[in-house]
Amino acid sequence: MAENPEEPEVEEEYISRYKSVEDLPGVGPATAEKLKKLGYTTVEALATASIKELTQVLGEKTANAIVTEARKQLISVPFMRADEYLKFRSTVERITTGCRGLDMLLGGGVETQAITEFYGEFGTGKSQICHQLCVNVQLPRERGGLEGGALYIDTEHTFRPERIAQIAKNLNLDPKKALSRVIYAEALTSDHQMYLLDHAASQMSEHNIRLIIVDSLIAHFRSEFIGREMLAERQQKLERHLHKLMKLARAYNAAAVVTNQVMAKPDAFFTDAVGPTGGHILAHISHTRIFLRKSPTPHVRIAKLVVSPSLPEGSECPFKITEKGIEDVEVRERK
Ligand SMILES: Nc1ncnc2c1ncn2[C@@H]1O[C@H](COP(=O)(O)OP(=O)(O)OP(=O)(O)O)[C@@H](O)[C@H]1O
Ligand SMILES: [Mg+2]
């Protein structure tokens, strides 16, 4: 396109994002018509389609190729106009945390197509929030869910199916069904953790996954890459892992939630996590960070919005962890 070879081909890339369904390779008018009958009229919708559903009207190979191509369109384009970006953002959805205060802090819940990080000391409720979200994502939209499943990558062996069942029961969901919609994998090493995410795509579409949990994100990396000389390698791997997470979140319109444990020094955390030379590994990735700390009141925790691309930073809210799950703290309970 550009005569000057140094000129980036922005225009062409920009246009490709909003191609119509018919412009995807392998989609002629007849196929487009079939897709339309299933309700798929945009590239964005196709990117998050389940291949199984498309096989109602197409062969599996074709369905697979179309969805793969649609996903490429969705995740490979770096430049676009702000009005188009706004249109793209309108596909972002939210999952309730089950706590009104926490939802407000997050602008309505945990966002899809982005990474939300909960970090704090042991016992501050990071894993409990993850368990709660795994159930909440299954709720109908009018109750704050996305009618989808969850993928849980557990690096510290702290996932408890019994807790999922307990939370589901409290929300009047069938515990057995709720458990069947949480796809679990234990990551044994950092390489294994990366492998799991690299091979998550088929699970994502097969189970309509709308929430990916990595609890905890850094534990393996931190224990395996010790000392300054290994920091660069650790950071590189972590960055690759996070990019993969972000790509999946975009391609499947899923929320990505990661946890990190820290010793009581929130502001020093990222320096610690990636080393003094590292800087912010997540700076260029859409990213919300919530710091959790304990409160003197039993079962109560405080959440603080530390980084947000679009909401006022520094706001705080209390929540409590009970048998039912994550709950609001009534005003009279606050001390
Ligand atoms: N079924 C339950 N009913 C009530 N409280 C519970 C239940 N299960 C866990 N908790 C509470 O949740 C807290 C533990 O929270 P959680 O495991 O989420 O911490 P964490 O931040 O993930 O810690 P770590 O860094 O060690 O992983 C404990 O105070 C525990 O009492
Ligand atoms: Mg935990």
CATH number of the domain that residue 128 is part of: 3.40.50.300
Separation of alpha carbons 252 and 118, rounded Å = 21
Q: Where are the beta strands (DSSP E) in the chain?
A: 94-95, 110-111, 115-120, 149-154, 182-186, 209-215, 255-261, 287-294, 300-307, 316-322, 325-328
Domain range holding 14? 10-89
Same domain? 43 vs 192: no
Stretch 178-191: mean pLDDT: 96
Question: Residue 50 domain-assigned?
Answer: yes
Given a contact cutoff of 8 angstroms between Cβ atoms, the answer to whether 249 and 114 are in contact is yes
pLDDT at position 82 is 86
Q: What is the pLDDT of residue 1?
A: 37
CATH code at 49? 1.10.150.20
Average pLDDT over residues 245-263: 88
Q: How many domains does the chain have?
A: 2
Residue of higher predicted confidence among 43 and 301: 301
CB 265 within 8 Å of CB 121: no
Closest ligand relative to 121 C-alpha:
1
Closest residue CA from atom 1 of ligand 1: 323
Residues with CB under 6 A from ligand 1: 120, 122-128, 158, 163, 166, 261, 321-323
- Mark which of 46, 64, 89 sits at the end of a domain: 89
Retrieve residue 25's tokens.
């390779």
- Structure-model confidence comparison of residues 114 and 70, the more confident one: 114
The number of beta carbons lying within 10 Å of the beta carbon of residue 66 is 25
pLDDT digit string (tens) for 6-43? Answer: 433 333 333 334 457 887 888 889 999 998 887 777 77
Q: Is pLDDT at 196 greater than 50 in this prediction?
A: yes
Of 59, 89, 119, which residue sits at a domain end? 89
Residue 84 and residue 99 in one domain? no
| Residue finishing a domain among 46, 73, 89 | 89
On whether both 70 and 160 belong to a single domain, the answer is no
Ligand 1: which of 97, 102, 127, 153 to mutate, judged by most atoms within 8 Å of the beta carbon? 127
At 76 the pLDDT is 60
Q: Do 120 and 260 lie in a common domain? A: yes
- 256 part of a folded domain: yes
Answer yes or no: do 116 and 246 share one domain: yes
The residue whose two tokens read 């706001």 is: 315
Query: Are 82 and 114 in the same domain?
Result: no
The answer, yes or no, to whether residue 255 has pLDDT greater than 90, is yes
> In this structure, is residue 3 part of a structural domain?
no
120 in the same domain as 15: no
If one compares 253 and 8, the residue with the highest pLDDT of the two is 253
Mean pLDDT for the chain overall: 83
As beta bridge partners, residue 293 has 302
Q: Does position 268 have pLDDT exceeding 60, yes or no? A: no
Ligand number, closest to the Cα atom of 154: 2
Determine, yes or no, domain membership for 151: yes
Q: How far is CA 193 from the centre of its chain?
A: 15
Residue nearest to atom 10 of ligand 1 (CA): 321
pLDDT in tens, 84-123: 778 777 889 999 999 999 999 999 999 999 999 998 999 9
Which of 48-57, 179-188, 195-204, 232-241: highest mean pLDDT?
179-188
pLDDT more than 70, % of the chain:
84
Higher pLDDT, 299 or 236: 299
Q: How far apart are CA 191 and CA 258, in angstroms?
A: 17
Give the pLDDT mean for 264-279.
40
119, β-bridge pairs: 260, 291
Please indicate, yes or no, whether residues 153 and 284 belong to a single structural domain of this protein. yes
> What's the pLDDT at 138?
98
55 in a structural domain? yes
Instruction: Please indicate whether residue 50 or residue 113 has the higher confidence score (pLDDT).
Output: 113
pLDDT on residue 270: 47
Task: State whether 37 and 160 are in the same domain.
Answer: no
pLDDT at 264 over 70: no
Which mutation among 99, 102, 128, 294 tests ligand 1's pocket best, with the greatest number of atoms within 8 A of CB? 128
List own/partner pairs for 193-200 with CB under 8 A and 24 or more apart. Answer: 193/153, 193/155, 193/220, 193/241, 194/237, 194/240, 194/241, 194/244, 196/153, 197/153, 197/241, 197/244, 197/245, 197/248, 198/244, 200/151, 200/248
CA-nearest residue for atom 29, ligand 1, is 123
Closest CA to 121 of 319, 293, 297, 300: 293
* pLDDT at residue 230, as a whole number: 81
CA of 161 to the centre of ligand 1 (A): 14
Both 83 and 98 in one domain: the answer is: no
Q: Tell whether the model's pLDDT for residue 4 goes beyond 70.
A: no
Lowest-confidence range among 104-113, 147-156, 242-251, 282-291? 282-291
Q: Whose CA is nearest to atom 18 of ligand 1?
A: 125
Tell me what the mean pLDDT of segment 151-176 comes to: 98
Q: Are residues 69 and 214 in the same domain?
A: no
Candidate from 139-148, 171-180, 186-195, 257-266 with smallest mean pLDDT: 257-266
Ligand nearest to the CA of 299: 1
Q: Is residue 252 part of a domain?
A: yes
Q: Answer yes or no: do 69 and 103 share one domain.
A: no
Residue 229 is assigned to a structural domain of this protein: yes
**Poorest-confidence range of 11-25, 114-128, 157-171, 221-235?**
11-25
Q: What is the pTM of this model?
A: 0.78
Query: What is residue 178's predicted lDDT score, i.e. its pLDDT?
Result: 98
Backbone angles phi, psi at 106, to 5 degrees: -95, 10
Looking at the domain assignment, is residue 2 inside a domain? no
